[in-house]
A and B are shown apart, each in its own frame.
Chain A
Amino acid sequence: MDVENLMTKDEPASARPLAEAVPVRLEPAEFADLYSAHCSFVYYLALRLLGDAAQAEDAAHEVFLKAYRHLDQFRFKAKVRTWLYRITINHCRSWLRKWEHQHVLTAPEPIALETAASPADSPLRVLEIKELGQCIQKTLDALSPEYRLLLLLAADEQLSYAEIAELTGQSVDAVRGKLHRARRAFIAQFRRTT
């Protein structure tokens, strides 16, 4: 992983909440606090990107290990959450590339999903809560990787559209437009899945 690249493209320090600041050097107890604050978010992102609990655990483990090893290179220009997400995204992309290299996959059809007739403005109603996770996973798996990532990042209320744009390497306007299409695609696919 290009660790330098992880830490150079984020927002100005002035936009960073002070509570998110990371000291130059963390003691084990302080790193434990960082882990506690962000672990569930990192794990959930990895879980839904990879679609496998065991792989998500491995991914989260690697993410925090890398974060620990490279904390001294963290330049205080990003929120910790954003930084950890960037490592997670890179790790998951790398893992998926390797996996796809070894397996033949059929590509999803996001355009068909976007234009599918569905009442996109109506609420999503779920009856079987216990199967919600599986339905969400199936739905996300059917979307393009870009839509999947955008929706998962947008679901984190701590991330602004600007930060999502940073993480995905595009403009805020592009994020807005794609998120709109991603939501429609998700809803159309979700109705098929449930």
Chain B
Amino acid sequence: MEPKPSRMHLQGQSAESSRQETELQHQQSHSSAIEFGTVEEMLRYDAAQVSPPATLAARLRDALANEPRRRPAWWRRWLPRRRKE
């Protein structure tokens, strides 16, 4: 696999005022600057912020519960099962 560029620079902006800690945290969370060296870095960062909805797993579990029990092909029943290594 070819290496792809991966470099992230995080730059935090220091708060100038000496307000309460909660306000400082709020300000940092909304105005901290992030620099991305490449588009791919930005997309990876974005992907890390996105989580699949919790309902997805539940929907899939319900759907799979209604799936007919899968049976392996007749010829596969005669083959030894592959193992993860």
Contact = CB atoms under 8 A, between A and B. Distances in A.
Given A23-B83, A157-B4, A28 B9 contact: no
A50 interface: no
A128 interface: yes
A60 to B, nearest CB: 6
Given A19-B84, A68-B64, A124 B39 contact: yes
Please classify the interface of chain B as helix (H, G, I), strand (E, B), loop, or mixed, using the class held by over half of its residues.
mixed
Interface residues on B, range: 35 or more
Contact of A23 (B40, B57, B81): B81
13 contacts: A23-B81, A23-B84, A24-B76, A43-B52, A57-B55, A60-B56, A124-B39, A126-B33, A128-B30, A128-B31, A132-B42, A132-B45, A155-B40
Interface string B39-83: 110111111011111011101100110010010110010010111
Interface in A129-168: 129-130, 132-133, 136, 151-152, 154-155, 157-162
A47 B49 CA distance: 12
Interface residues on A, range: 35 or more
A40 B43 contact: no
B73 A72 contact: yes
Interface of B: 1-2, 4, 6, 9, 29-40, 42-47, 49-53, 55-57, 59-60, 63-64, 67, 70, 72-73, 76, 79, 81-85
Nearest to B45: A132
B82 A154 contact: no
Given A61-B59, A154-B4, 14 more contacts: A24-B79, A65-B60, A65-B63, A65-B64, A65-B67, A68-B67, A72-B76, A123-B9, A125-B33, A129-B32, A130-B30, A136-B43, A155-B43, A157-B44
